Amino acid sequence: MGKFSQTERDGHLFIVTIDRPEVLNALHPPGNAELSDVFDEFAADPDLWVAIITGAGRAFSAGNDLKYQAGGGDRSGQPSSGFAGITARYDLNKPVIAAVNGVAMGGGFEIALACDIIVAAENAVFALPEVRVGLAALAGGVHRLPRTIGTKQALGMILTGRRVSAAEGQQLGFVNEVVPEGQALEGARRWAAQILEASPMSVRASKQAVLQGLEHAGVEAASSGRYPAVAEMVGSEDFIEGPLAFAEKRTPNWKGR
């Protein structure tokens, strides 16, 4: 257990909990550095295939700890991997699910946007309020949100800092599923279980191809791109096991290699 976070291993699933409930899980450089180490562990461990990130107490994360910043707290330890060690982690091919159990503001929303799937409790609230405090959502928010819901809808949130409910977030397209209050983690676990039924090599290849493919202007260029995780998939044991299990009418025994 860390000072600012908790982790749990459940088979191939890794659950990360931001643990600063006294400040609605707002994050400061020491917390971000600790979470960066946590996600380094997830990325490096071949037995961990899917991660869930959530928050302790009644919030997911209120974002940047402005009181810490205003009070002159030491910011020298801010990791290059960004908020929660994930908003600027561009080389992670393993899927990460956000279980948003409450407020996800500013950097907290940017953490969720950096995840691949967002499961939100019906009481969750999302916003990028940086413009209201003289800042900007530069931990990926101003770039990920337009790519997720379109420029006009994103600017409607970014330029006003307005709050969006979980239900509206699903309508806009950045929330995958809305679940009853208190069930965000349970809902995220269901999504993780479905992902874990698939080959982890195929999952990683698919995630990398999708995200890196978006860097290309057209489908032809994206389809012609070189994606290392795809090559790893083709050279893996799972590439043989999948078709073999299908032919033998049995559940595949994925190795993740």
Catalytic positions, written as ranges:
110, 130
CA dist 101 and 52 (Å) reads 12
Q: Which residues contact 186 (CB under 8 A, 6 or more apart)?
A: 179
Distance, in Å, from the CA atom of 2 to the CA atom of 47, rounded to the nearest integer, reads: 21
| Host H or E run for residue 243 | helix 238-247
Would you say how long the chain is, in residues? 257
**HEC string of 152-202?**
HHHHHHHCCCCCEEHHHHHHHCCCCEEECCCCHHHHHHHHHHHHHCCCHHH
Q: Enumerate the β-bridge partners of residue 228.
A: none
- Which one, of 141, 144, 143, 148, lies nearest residue 127 by Cα? 141
Q: Mark out the alpha helices in 56-179 (DSSP H runs).
A: 66-70, 107-114, 141-149, 151-158, 166-172
C-alpha–C-alpha distance, residues 222 and 227, integer Å? 10
Per-residue CA distances from 82 to 27, 75, 174, 229 (Å): 11, 12, 20, 23
Amino acid at the residue 160: T
Of all helices (H) and strands (E), which one includes residue 36? helix 29-44
